[in-house]
Amino acid sequence: MVMKCRDYTLVLRASFMTKTVQYQNELHKFLIWDTAGQERFRALAPMYYRGSAAAIIVYDITKELCSGGVGLQLLSSFVLQETFSTLKNWVKELRQHGPPNIVVAIAGNKCDLIDVREVMERDAKDYADSIHAIFVETSAKNAININELFIEISRRIPSTDANPPSGGKGFKLRRQPSEPKRSCC
Helices within 4-145 (DSSP H only): 45-49, 87-97, 121-130
Domains along the chain?
2-156 (3.40.50.300)
Model pLDDT for residues 153-162, shown as the tens digit of each residue: 999 988 765 4
Give the β-pairing of 54-60 and 26-34: unpaired
Q: Looking at 43-47, 111-115, 168-172, which range is the least confident one?
A: 168-172
C-alpha 98: how far from its chain's center? 11
User: In terms of DSSP bridges, do strands 103-109 and 54-60 run parallel, antiparallel, or are they unpaired?
Assistant: parallel
pLDDT at 2 over 90: no
DSSP 20: E
> What is the structure's pLDDT at 37?
54
Please state the φ and ψ torsions of residue 78, each to the nearest 5 degrees: -155, 165
Q: What is the pLDDT of residue 29?
A: 87
Residue 62 has pLDDT above 90, yes or no: no
Q: Any idea of the CA torsion for 24, 59, 103, 13, to the nearest 10 degrees?
A: -90
pLDDT at 38: 58
15-19, 22-26, 93-97, 166-170: least confident range: 166-170
Cα 17 to the chain's mean position, in Å? 12
Banded model confidence at residue 163, pLDDT cuts 50, 70, 90: very low
pLDDT of residue 141: 92
- pLDDT for residue 1 is more than 60: no
- Residue 134 in this model has a pLDDT that exceeds 80: yes
What average pLDDT does the structure give for the chain?
74
11 three-class SS: strand
Does residue 39 contact residue 69 with C-beta atoms inside 8 Å? yes
